[in-house]
Chain A
Amino acid sequence: MTSTNKDPILVVVQLTGGNDYMNTVIPYQDPVYYDSRKTVGVAQEDVLPISDDLAFNPALNAVKIMYDEGKVAVINGIGYPCPNRSHFRSMDIWHTCEPEKVGNEGWLGRAIRDLDPQAENVLTGVNFGRGLPRAMALTGVPVASVAVLETYGVLTGISGEQERAEALDLFSRMYSPILGTGPVMDYLGSTGLDALKGADILKTVPGQYQSSVEYADSIIGRNLQGIAKVLTANLGTRIFYTQQPGYDTHANQGPVHGVLLAHLSQAVRDFYDDLKEHNASENVLIYLFTEFGRRVKDNGSGTDHGAGGLAMAIGDPVKGGIYSEFPSMREEDLEEGDLKYNIDFRGVYGTVAEKWLGLDASSIVGGKFEQLDFV
């Protein structure tokens, strides 16, 4: 960890749909790769090598530059026992750290609780997107879920400024505790007031933000820029969350996947540069994950749901490099046609929770798992 007086901040980016690990970090020397990926394989001459065996997809050019600067940890073969190939169930497992039973509590919800046990700051956790990801859900832990920063809040349909201010004032009175109405009404009341408080603080953010960085236009770029605005406003947010959808590349993978990675890569670079300009990059760790990798063999157009996947940690505090091994692609080493995981994701979460956020990992990820030393 670099020495800094600022609180460590975590930015989680979820690549939704199951990012094709083997086409993101490519074993470009292995003939098995090219045998398995007759349609979607990336040609050897196009890849961006990061070691003798592994290379980035050419669309990750911006991330490759950061890799060369020692700011990117590539975490190979991440997964969990008995992999589930349903998007929703697998994503749930990544969100709750509960591969065996169905859990309702998110690991980041628990982290937010441990960072701010009295829930003093309603913005300790901020999600950019609609609804709350289960990863951040925990009863009693307020999290602001922001679709668009500029219009975040309740009663956004009221256009007149004065009129809206009056309506919000009324809203807050109508959500204030009323004696004897019971615990559920109380809970709705405090949740509503938390949302209001969060919105109240966040509404000042866009006006304060100035930057010379122009983000390339993409969904993930807009979301990361939103995060940069909140982060650089110093509101005490410790955990940010957002997602980039579209990774379910069963068909026509070639062009689609490349565009997604290019958007992601440029957005991460823009975000990093933006933080750097604000002297805020030293205490920010970006963590990318997906619910599963995809089948070793392509299906003639795209790839189907698989197992063992990829995570990355990016930023100044990261010790760059390649962590854990790329799983064997040989037929006899596969599990139902998929790469076998070799590092449990809960150990990687644990690394982030313990070595970066300074929290007790086992209560957050539900046990002790092998950690890595990328921070």
Chain B
Amino acid sequence: MVSINTDKPLLAHLLRRAGFGATFHELDRYSQLGYEAAVDELLHPERQPAIEEDVLERYFIDWKESRNIEGALTEFVYRMNAYAGGRPLQEKIALFWHGVFATGLAKVLHEKTMLNQIDLFREHGLGNFRDFLLHLAKDPAMIFWLDNNFNHKDAPNENWGRELLELFSLGVGMDGEENYTEDDVKNAARAFTGWTIDDDNVASIPFGKTPWLFRYLPEDHDDGEKTFMGHTGNFNGEDIIDIIVKQPATARFISRHLYNFFVADDVQVPAWQHTPPGDPEAIKVLEEEYFRSNYNIRSMLGVLFNSDSFKSDQARFAKVKSPAEVVVGTLHLLGDFKFPKRGIFEVALGCRYMGQDLLNPPSVEGWHAGEEWIDSGSLVERVNFVADQVSDIAQPGVRAMVDTLLDRAVELDPVSVINGCLELLGHVRLHEKNKEHLAGEIRSMLDQRSGLVAGSTEERLSAEKTVLHTMKMIGSSREYQFA
């Protein structure tokens, strides 16, 4: 058996899931560390250096202050890409929670407040789930998104109370049973009365908008007795969260979400009440870790990434990449936009064209994933985006891949070109049949030119062209759409 520490395809798999893929230089470094140390490093993004905030401020104050949707989307995508090398899981977990606690500018209409929520996901998304939910309950974007600012002592609004149970913790049901009753929803809502936002800081052009803040109004809180999931008391919101996190249903719900996002595409949320997990063993292990670690997401992910089911061959390429993974993963591979420059908004819009309008999910249920990402419109966008980017020799990452490949061999043959490209693009796989198809094309390209690499400048340029074409075709393949 090959030593696990030198298994670069496995590390590439880990980085595709825990991050946005890795360059071949990064994989060299991770393989020096070894798999378990790599997992440990990923789980602690805070130990890696932060990007320089003042660079953003200096070059693009309008992104930094995100006074509009363009700025906000740019900031989100810029940050994901900027951290894809050093703190990938910090960004990946933020993207994960953005899909689960799906809040959108469609209603919030306040970019800075929205981005503060994403920051909350970055900061607490790997931590204790109880504390995280409590932060979420106090998050101004969430409060506004689910109308908790209209949840009053005399006139309760159940929107937040319901979604907290249905979409953020317990889920409607599991094993065919219901997880909570309508009375539980009502009492949860009552417990969160008075949890509202400051509404006196309106937009003040030209200085941009000031973010909303959480405010608790004791006089608007219903302090009466409530019965919630079999417990009775004069509950406040925090008590509700304490009860929620102890439920086996919450362990199941979070475990299934983590599995679907990090391991493999399984059935999606609406089906969970009646459809058991595809891999019940893997879910059980995560549920146990949830309770053992006192609801710690980082610990659950540690168990997940180190599990045999995650490392297994079946888990490789078992997910259709989300549009954000396609866009950010490609930018990272190319080494593009690591420093602020114009044009990133247009690139960021790629996510929208591919069906994932970041900061603007279709609803509080988030995006449907897996094969539902794909339709003929979005597939054309994916193929063209990746094909154009990975064959652009002006990109530093592409230049590095091409030079590395050409420096390796004196002579090119189709199979070594393909295998070399697949490896450098992040140990991507291509079905044997498709490799044959591609090899045929390369063979005819090589026939038309000289196949030699170590010759004149002209020959080198011609070889470059062959490699770039190969990368383009791999980038446009079906297989490349899988993470």
Q: Point out residues on A near B: beta carbons under 8 Å.
A: 86-89, 92, 102, 104, 122, 127, 130-132, 134, 137, 139, 142-145, 153-158, 166-167, 170-171, 173-175, 178, 181, 183-185, 187-189, 191-192, 194-195, 198
Assess A194 versus B473: contact at CB under 8 Å? Given A87-B106, A130-B381, A170-B441: no
Tell me the bound Cα distance from A321 to B424 in angstroms: 65
Stretch at the interface among B5-13, B25-33, B287-295, B360-368: B360-368
B478 touches A143 (CB 8 A): no
Tell me the bound Cα distance from A166 to B473 in angstroms: 11
Among B107, B379, B478, the residue within 8 A (CB) of A174 is B478
Within the complex, the shortest CB–CB distance from B388 to chain A, in Å, comes to: 4
Tell me the bound Cα distance from A131 to B362 in angstroms: 15
Assess A88 versus B106: contact at CB under 8 Å? Given A174-B434, A192-B478: yes
Other A-B pairs beyond A137-B375, A187-B371, A191-B379, 13, CB < 8 Å = A88-B360, A92-B362, A92-B363, A104-B368, A131-B381, A132-B355, A143-B376, A145-B376, A167-B469, A181-B431, A183-B371, A188-B478, A192-B478
Q: Which residues of A sit under 8 angstroms from B383, Cβ to Cβ?
A: 154-155, 192
Assess A171 versus B355: contact at CB under 8 Å? Given A143-B377, A189-B478, A198-B376: no
Interface check B265, CB cutoff 8 A = yes
Tell me the bound Cα distance from A181 to B431 in angstroms: 9
> Ordered nearest first, which 6 A-B pairs have the shortest CB separation?
A145-B377, A132-B377, A88-B106, A157-B388, A102-B363, A131-B353
B362 touches A145 (CB 8 A): no
Assess A132 versus B376: contact at CB under 8 Å? Given A181-B431, A188-B481: yes
Within the complex, the shortest CB–CB distance from B319 to chain A, in Å, comes to: 9
Tell me the bound Cα distance from A198 to B380 in angstroms: 11
Assess A175 versus B478: contact at CB under 8 Å? Given A157-B391, A184-B370: yes
Among A102, A170, A184, A192, the residue within 8 A (CB) of B371 is A184
Interface check B476, CB cutoff 8 A = yes
Within the complex, the shortest CB–CB distance from A176 to chain B, in Å, comes to: 8
B48-75 at interface with A (beta carbon < 8 Å)? none
Assess A89 versus B433: contact at CB under 8 Å? Given A132-B377, A154-B476, A170-B473: no
Interface check B354, CB cutoff 8 A = yes
Within the complex, the shortest CB–CB distance from B381 to chain A, in Å, comes to: 7
Q: Which residues of A sit under 8 angstroms from B355, Cβ to Cβ?
A: 131-132
Assess A143 versus B437: contact at CB under 8 Å? Given A154-B384, A171-B476, A189-B478: no
Among B444, B473, B478, the residue within 8 A (CB) of A185 is B478
B363 touches A89 (CB 8 A): yes
- Sample 25 A-B pairs with CB under 8 A, ordered by A number: A86-B107, A88-B104, A104-B368, A130-B381, A131-B352, A131-B355, A132-B375, A132-B377, A145-B377, A145-B380, A155-B387, A157-B388, A157-B391, A167-B473, A170-B441, A173-B434, A174-B434, A174-B438, A178-B431, A184-B370, A185-B478, A187-B374, A192-B478, A194-B376, A195-B379
Q: Which residues of B sit under 8 angstroms from A178, Cβ to Cβ?
A: 431, 433-434
Q: Which residues of B sit under 8 angstroms from A192, Cβ to Cβ?
A: 379, 383, 478
Tell me the bound Cα distance from A31 to B453 in angstroms: 82
Q: Point out residues on B near A: beta carbons under 8 Å.
A: 104, 106-107, 265, 320, 352-355, 360, 362-363, 365, 368, 370-372, 374-381, 383-384, 387-388, 391, 431, 433-434, 437-438, 441, 444, 469, 472-473, 476-478, 481
Chain B minimum-CB-distance residue to A122 = B376
Q: Which residues of B sit under 8 angstroms from A187, Cβ to Cβ?
A: 371, 374
Q: Which residues of B sit under 8 angstroms from A185, Cβ to Cβ?
A: 478
Chain A minimum-CB-distance residue to B354 = A131
Chain B minimum-CB-distance residue to A169 = B441
A184 touches B473 (CB 8 A): no
Q: Which residues of A sit under 8 angstroms from B433, Cβ to Cβ?
A: 178
A153 touches B380 (CB 8 A): yes
Tell me the bound Cα distance from A156 to B444 in angstroms: 21
A155 touches B472 (CB 8 A): yes
Chain A minimum-CB-distance residue to B109 = A86
B372 touches A139 (CB 8 A): yes
Chain B minimum-CB-distance residue to A185 = B478
Chain A minimum-CB-distance residue to B445 = A166
Name the residue among B352, B438, B473, B476 with the largest chain A CB count within 10 angstroms: B476
Tell me the bound Cα distance from A102 to B163 in angstroms: 14
B365 touches A102 (CB 8 A): yes
Tell me the bound Cα distance from A178 to B107 in angstroms: 45
Within the complex, the shortest CB–CB distance from B41 to chain A, in Å, comes to: 32
B377 touches A131 (CB 8 A): yes
